[in-house]
Amino acid sequence: MSNALVEEAEFDIAHVNAEFAEVAECASDHDPLMVVLTIGSAPLLGDFDGDGNVDRRDLRVFVRTIGSREGDRRYLAMADFNDSGQVDPHNLRFS
pLDDT for the residue numbered 74: 94
pLDDT for the residue numbered 56: 94
Q: Which of 23-27, 28-32, 75-79, 85-89 is predicted least confidently?
A: 23-27
pLDDT mean across residues, the chain: 76
In this predicted structure, the answer to whether residue 83 has a pLDDT above a threshold of 60 is: yes
* Residue range 23-64, pLDDT digits in tens: 555 555 565 656 666 666 667 888 998 888 999 999 999 999
Task: Identify the H or E element spanning 3.
Answer: none
pTM, entire model: 0.54
Q: How far is the C-alpha of 66 from the C-alpha of 87, rounded, in Å? A: 5
